[in-house]
Amino acid sequence: MKPSPALVSVLDGLVDMHVHSGPSPFPRRFDHVEAARDGARIGLRAMVAKSHHHNTQMDILAMRGRFADVAATAYGGIALNSTVGGLNVHAVRMCLRMGGRIVWFPTISSGRHLECHPEDGSFPTTTVPLTLERIDIVDEHGALKPEVGEILDEIKEQEAVVNGGHMYPEYIRTLFQAAKERGIRRMAVSHPDFVIGADPDLCRELVGLGAYIEHECAMYDPEGPERWDPRQLLRWIETIGPEHTVLASDLGQAANPKPVDAWLRVAGALLDLGLPEKDLRRMVRDNPSYLLGLDD
């Protein structure tokens, strides 16, 4: 896809906090280096590689030599699913102290995700047989499990991002309340209207706790898996405000478009609908740069 120079200028410096490059047990169309290199088409500044199954910071470090000629910086993170031991503070500590930037609380191991996709649903089948078990952050009385507090303390110390994963909205609220009490400043909710089911009123409540609401190009790309109307995304932006919104790709899967191509189509659609360029820049550059601490 040949980008418009004007559109590339608006996207220059973009930071993508949600890239599903490989390696992964799910089929991927390219690895982290290839994803970052392709980002040069729109002036990608940084990206975060996400896996539902493992700590991606170790991937980034292992590929360090190949990143030498890539302009964009790549970071890793960890999703607290059963393949990393669930609510495992030791795994979190290693990831963040090796340079990881995001801790996603349970995604494919969350109760909410398992309800929506009991047999993988729209998610690709893994390339190797894996086991998966449900991970909850609260006990039978609805109180946060002690290990969640330990993980939040580590996130606070390393100034990393807390992401609500694919959990029930009320679990995300409980998690973010605890994070705010600890003085954690960087929180994000991914695709509130996909799997999670967080409505705008709840999202406003989460924003009040200090969270950013992240929406994904994958959902709104006409060549992507969901193909939602970009006007729906614009309504979210207008409701929550660009100052509290982050846009990310959530792409890299083998069967889906490349992140850059989706960025161009979705960003172009938003501008065509009347979104001011300054608001787009804030959501794709300034807000994610703040969350990752790129300018600290």
Domain ranges of the chain: 5-292
Note the pLDDT of residue 1: 62
Q: Assign a CATH topology to domain 5-292.
A: TIM Barrel (3.20.20)
Asked if 292 and 48 count as a contact pair (C-beta separation under 8 A), the reply is: yes
Model confidence, pTM: 0.97
pLDDT, one tens digit per residue, over 103-127 is 999 999 999 999 998 765 557 889 9
Percent of the chain with pLDDT over 90: 93
Is residue 79 within 8 A of residue 123, CB to CB? The reply is no
Per residue in 210-243, pLDDT (tens digit) is 999 999 999 999 999 999 999 999 999 999 999 9
pLDDT for residue 232: 98
Report how many helices (DSSP H) and strands (DSSP E) the chain contains, helices first.
Answer: 13, 9
Q: Which residues contact 276 (CB under 8 A, 6 or more apart)?
A: none
> What is the pLDDT averaged over residues 160-181?
98
Cis peptide before 23 (omega within 30 of 0): yes
Taking only the tens place, the pLDDT of each residue in 171-205 is 999 999 999 999 999 999 999 999 999 999 999 99
Dig out the tokens for 169 from the structure.
């909205």
Mean pLDDT of 148-172: 98
SS3 category, 70? coil
- pLDDT recorded at residue 4: 81
> pLDDT at position 195, please?
95
pLDDT at 274: 98
Predicted local confidence at residue 118, as pLDDT: 77
Q: What is the pLDDT of residue 120?
A: 58
